[in-house]
Chains A and B, each alone.
Chain A
Amino acid sequence: MKRKTGESYCLGIESTADDFSVGISTFSGKILANIIDVYIPPKGGIHPREAARHHAGVASSVLEKAFKKAGIKPADLSILAFSQGPGLGPCLRTGATVARALASYLGIHLVGVNHCVAHIEIGKLETGTEDPVTLYVSGGNTIVSAFDSGRYRVFGETLDIAIGNCLDVFAREAGLHQRVGEPFGAVVERFAANGKKLISLPYTVKGMDMSFSGLLTAAINLFKKGEHKLEDLCYSLQETVFSMVTEVTERALAHTEKKEVLLTGGVAANKRLQSMIKAIAEEHDAEFSVIPREFAVDNGAMIAWTGILAYKHGVVTPIEESFVKSRWRLEEVEVPWVK
């Protein structure tokens, strides 16, 4: 238990969906711990209440592991950050309850962090990008954003379900089997690798926004008809959804004329998506970065780091304002630390 004198620490709690995670960062941006505990439903998708129960069950052990990994004691913390939204209500409330209890006990400031802002900030920290167009693709989000005048503006997003959700539901409906620890998106990617035939699926780009629900239904219906190889369906599904999101990202890049593209979120791990985004970055003389998986998925480190950025700019969240905001939009958040 060594502690460098003068160093300040922030602990971040992330619990927006199926991950419960605790990260610890120094005020200068060194990530000391990032412990993630994923809720795996026995079958089907994430039930918010079940996931929240999981989070409550693992909270103390995840906290303990994080302190141990970072080599600091709770009393060493200067502030405590938590993901205040957006996300699943019951899951968010569990994390917020843990955060409030710990902050009150330690007598330190609480900082409520927007989950989407945190994904962008940890991406910038880990990849060294400064002012990127960010494509954030996960099970719950599909957002193309870039900074302008004090906020991260949303240039394009899904009009209905997220890309990760689309891939997950298809994989489940098609009865694809996961290997241990393998996310559904990765299963689709594995099957797609052996696909060859492009099957026509609805390609729905409306302005800068996208729609995936009709495409998902079409893919499921084609699967049920049984006329196509599953590998070809996975291949076509991937090619179509990734082409859509790449088209929108390219348009944001052309519109903003930024010189960096950052790919983040759980779906960022997909190699095919990486190659597509890399291609448009090159086309527009922009630098392409993809964040390491540990920081691409929902994690506490990103909350801790964003909490520090906000706190340094005078943002604190009094207990009475620490209620969760399950529909908190990215562009509602002022980010005074970005110039």
Chain B
Amino acid sequence: MGEMKQPLLIKKGAEASLYLASWHGRKVIMKKRLPKKYRLSKLDEQIKTYRTIHEPQLIHEAKKAGVPTPTIFLVNVKDATIIMEFIEGRQVKQLLNKASKSERQILCLRIGELIGRLHRYGIIHGDLTTSNMILSSEGKIFFVDFGLGEKSKELEARGVDLHLMKRALQSTHFRFVEECFNAVIEGYSKVLGSETGKNVLDKIREIERRGRYIAERKAD
């Protein structure tokens, strides 16, 4: 794994632990998927291996799509560990509720554009929450955590991806759901065209109606 100095646990997520470390003189993030005791070891191994291999691939592909992501330095499948660039900045989650209305608009518009770029390139992020977006000190928005991502250009997958974004807004930024999501769709449509934007919106509505309890769906 090379020279690794003082890894410092900075986030114990549900799926992986993130360590801030120094690696060959660079400030890096070490993402380690730890074994989950609650899962059977065979199932755990399958899931960890799959995600450890796919995540760096998608992170790399996202760059080609024009979406800032951390640079991958090393992948160790056996240890389920990925070493990547540390992005100096703040999570959009921490900024959004405190931002002014116009700042929120701009942030969400740009987020929408970036999601549009991913989708245009055939990448589904799989976990679009504001904790997985980092506004860097240089003012770029980086997308991280592609562990649940996949390659697809299907409308269904795109719809679910954006539906998850909306659900994240509803649980964490519930005061601004409408305005934020509208701005996201506006940015998204700028990249993929208004027709695709409209089709995806229709799809999101369909997905929502499929959900268990939606007021919009006609009563039995």
Contacts and interface: CB of A to CB of B under 8 A. Distances in A.
A196 B127 CA distance: 33
A326 B219 CA distance: 6
Interface string B159-172: 01000100110110
A239 B43 contact: yes
Interface string A239-271: 110010011001101110000000000000000
Contacts of A141: 212
B38 A279 contact: yes
Contacts of B37: 279, 283
Contacts of A254: 12-14
Contact of A48 (B43, B168, B220): B220
B210 A276 contact: no
Given A207-B127, A208-B167, A280-B38, A247 B14 contact: yes
Interface of B: 12-15, 36-40, 42-43, 46-47, 126-129, 131, 148, 160, 164, 167-168, 170-171, 174, 207, 210-217, 219-220
Contacts of A209: 164, 167
Interface string A141-165: 1000000110001110111101000
Interface residues of A, number: 52
Contacts of A207: 126-129, 148, 164, 167-168
A329 interface: yes
B128 to A, nearest CB: 7
Interface in A42-81: 48
A131 B211 CA distance: 26
Interface string A180-214: 00000000000000000010100101111100000
Interface of A: 48, 85-86, 88-90, 140-141, 148-149, 153-155, 157-160, 162, 198, 200, 203, 205-209, 239-240, 243, 246-247, 250-251, 253-255, 275-277, 279-280, 283-284, 324-332
Contacts of A277: 38
A243 B43 contact: yes
